[in-house]
């Protein structure tokens, strides 16, 4: 098997984040589940945006965030996702290319606009997300370049891909292509509500079709329908070769066969937790594909997560390689 | 004379900021004057954007920033400026309306896109700006609603309006309409390079056509072609009824006839100085139109400036009224 050109290929919903600070009452008034991601249609997106305070626009998308952060850490990264041929699509393309991520996906012409995620950040730093999928709903198997998939050590898929109807098929096509080429497949569970929406499909995937699993405590316990993190971790150990389970300020737990590694979080002031999980996966995969031991993979994940929670937006503003001591 | 509906009417170039951190070498490589604003064409904007690191998009525009901040402080504010009917224009309109600024200007249809200012922020917090004026070049006398001008206690004009060819006429029409209605006209000199480009016109305006002048040290000394701040301040005292002259961390000097008030800066960590002068003018005018003494106007200016320099972007992210003790 020849050496892959890319360490990581991310596939996900290509989204521009619209981030604004709100108070708790704003969430109640708009009937939002704090900390969760809800899907909204174009009309709801317009109405909600009109009610939002002044915002800033930054590139987002869960797997895209992971790709950007991994590239900032020195990994060789490619990304597949669907934007429209509009100003926000140009912003997304600029930002992911500017950190050195190869982004060959063509823009959607004349259809829905580039996806937007309206993100409300409460004073405790928690983010509550409302996503209008826009152009993302057209992502399908035709967008999966099997050659590109086969040329990446790890294909990283976000659970949110199970929301747009065509993307599930694209997800499975990518996973199959990766395995046929002898590569690894990683999955992030994305969000506990996303797990509830697609639990059966996720359970099927995790049981034998995924090599590396990322989840936080709420997601992994939702997947296995238990209140016990320890129990959920035991199930993950049985189902997948490698699982990295994050617990916010309590750090992360890595389980891989008989091996168990506990990793501390890196302390940081919390302004906006958007992208913390994505950044953790980035650090972890950048370390893993560089051949580092699990404890170092986890440390890189913790450093990357700390670098995104101290400001609004999901991607680091500082020199991440310096922060990581690389 | 009946009481005005608005405390402040701002008129300026309606711009979305594209903000990214860069190192000093980036400025040298692209032959930029650190701290200045340069005008660029569409092609240059595209090339420069392609060379920029990942950025975030936030609403900007000098007078628009002032309007937004003044509204956050409780002033009644309107704004005239030209955006296009595109996604960035919608972002601009959303953000200024969301803080309660009345923004009646119609969007430009089918012409140039909404203006963008590519802002490079160096590690010392200084910002270097490159503006593609886009739709702003169509702002003209037809956009000046004399009734709206007459209904505002102060019409606030940014010096940058002298750059697009039609806007100078709009500027003079607005100033005339304000004075005919018995209202005040305020001018910000905007940028020392802008002063150099339009010194004769500014000198003519300041000498009898402007009631309130805002400038920083570089701008006021450029206007009067002197190296001495004290000398420039003396000229300003002779030419205009009220001048508020800012000196970064050294605070500001207010000169008005025989009166002289020195105001301290409010200490704050410096991440990005974009919008500091705009915010100072906002605080000052919010105080002035509320009938506060100069020392309180200056204090509100200092508080507002401190609230924008601690993060990327030109507008406050915190509760400004609380910060100001209002």
Q: Give the domains, in start order, of chain B with CATH numbers.
A: 6-323 (3.40.1190.20)
* Residue of B53, B56, B88 with shortest CB distance to A98: B53
Tell me what pLDDT residue B326 has: 87
State whether B311 and A311 contact (CB < 8 Å). Answer: yes
**How many Å apart are CA B112 and CA B166, to the nearest integer?**
15
* Å between A17 CA and nearest CA of chain B: 10
- Residues B255 and B231 sit within 8 Å (Cβ to Cβ): no
pLDDT tens-digit readout, B178-222: 999 999 999 999 999 999 999 999 999 999 899 999 999 999 999
Q: Is the pLDDT of residue B81 over 80?
A: yes
Cβ contact B54–A312 (<8 Å): no
List of residues 6+ apart from A291 with CB closer than 8 A? none
Nearest by CB to B317, which of A21, A50, A52?
A21
In 3D, which of A35, A215, A217, A218 has the Cα closest to residue A119?
Answer: A35
pLDDT band per the 50, 70, 90 thresholds, residue B318: confident
- Token pair belonging to A176: 């199959």
pLDDT at residue A2, as a whole number = 83
Judged by CB atoms closer than 8 Å, whether chains meet at B94 and A49 is answered as: yes
- Which residues of B lie inside 8 Å of A (Cβ-Cβ)? 21, 49-50, 52-59, 68, 86-88, 91, 94-96, 98-99, 113, 311-313, 315, 317
Contact B56 A55 (CB under 8 A): no
Rounded CA-CA distance B207/A260 in Å is: 76
Share of chain A above pLDDT 70, in %: 100
pTM of the entire structure? 0.95
Nearest CA to CA, how far is A311 from chain B (Å)? 8
Which residues of chain B make contact with A99, given a CB cutoff of 8 A? Answer: 53-54
Contact A157, A186 (CB under 8 A): yes
Does the beta-carbon distance from B317 to A50 stay under 8 Å?
A: no
> Mean pLDDT throughout B10-34?
96
Structure token digits, residue A203: 């359970």
d(C-alpha B279, C-alpha B282), whole Å: 5
Q: CB-CB: which of B57, B86, B312 is closest to A91? A: B57
Question: Residue A1 pLDDT more than 80?
Answer: no
Q: β-strand B242-246 against A56-59: which pairing, if any?
A: unpaired
Q: Beta A184-188 vs B184-188: how paired, if at all? A: unpaired
Name the residue facing A98 among B54, B96, B99 (closest C-beta).
Answer: B54
* pLDDT level of residue A208 (50, 70, 90 thresholds): confident
Q: Are A236 and A256 in contact (CB under 8 A)?
A: no
Of A87, A88, A315, the CB nearest to B54: A315
Task: Write the pLDDT tens digit of every residue in B123-170.
Answer: 999 999 999 999 999 999 999 999 999 999 999 999 999 998 888 899
Q: How confident is the model at residue A237 (pLDDT cuts 50, 70, 90)?
A: very high
On the question of pLDDT at B1 being above 80, the answer is no
CB B62 within 8 A of CB B158: yes
Query: What pLDDT digit, counting tens, does each position of A50-101 carry?
Result: 999 999 999 999 999 999 999 999 999 999 999 999 999 999 999 999 999 9
């Amino acid at each position: 098997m020849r050496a892959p050109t890319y360490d990581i290929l991310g596939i996900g919903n290509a989204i521009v984040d619209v981030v604004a600070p709100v108070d708790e009452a704003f969430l109640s008034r708009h009937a939002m589940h704090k900390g969760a991601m809800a899907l909204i249609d174009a009309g709801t997106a317009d109405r909600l945006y009109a009610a939002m305070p002044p915002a800033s626009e930054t590139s987002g998308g869960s797997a895209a965030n992971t790709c950007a952060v991994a590239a900032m850490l020195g990994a060789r990264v490619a990304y597949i996702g669907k934007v429209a041929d509009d100003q926000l699509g140009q912003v997304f393309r600029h930002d992911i290319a500017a950190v050195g991520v190869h982004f060959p996906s063509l823009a959607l012409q004349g259809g829905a606009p580039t996806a937007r995620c309206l993100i409300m950040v409460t004073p405790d730093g928690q983010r509550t997300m409302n996503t209008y999928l826009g152009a993302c709903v057209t992502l399908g198997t035709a967008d999966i370049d099997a050659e590109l998939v086969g040329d990446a050590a790890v294909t990283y898929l976000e659970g949110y891909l199970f929301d747009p109807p065509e993307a599930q098929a694209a997800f499975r096509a990518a996973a199959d292509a990766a395995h046929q080429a002898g590569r690894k497949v990683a999955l992030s569970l994305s969000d506990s509500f996303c797990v509830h929406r697609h639990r059966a499909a996720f359970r099927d995937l995790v049981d034998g079709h995924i090599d590396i699993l990322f989840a936080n405590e709420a997601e992994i316990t939702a997947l296995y329908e238990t209140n016990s993190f320890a129990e959920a971790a035991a199930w993950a150990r049985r189902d997948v070769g490698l699982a990295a389970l994050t617990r916010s300020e309590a750090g992360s737990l890595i389980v891989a066969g008989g091996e168990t590694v506990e990793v501390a979080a890196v302390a940081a002031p919390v302004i906006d937790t958007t992208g913390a999980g994505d950044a953790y996966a980035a650090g972890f995969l950048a370390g893993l594909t560089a051949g580092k031991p699990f404890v170092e993979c986890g440390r890189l994940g913790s450093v990357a997560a700390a670098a995104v929670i101290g400001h609004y937006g999901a991607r680091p503003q500082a020199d991440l390689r310096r922060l990581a001591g690389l």
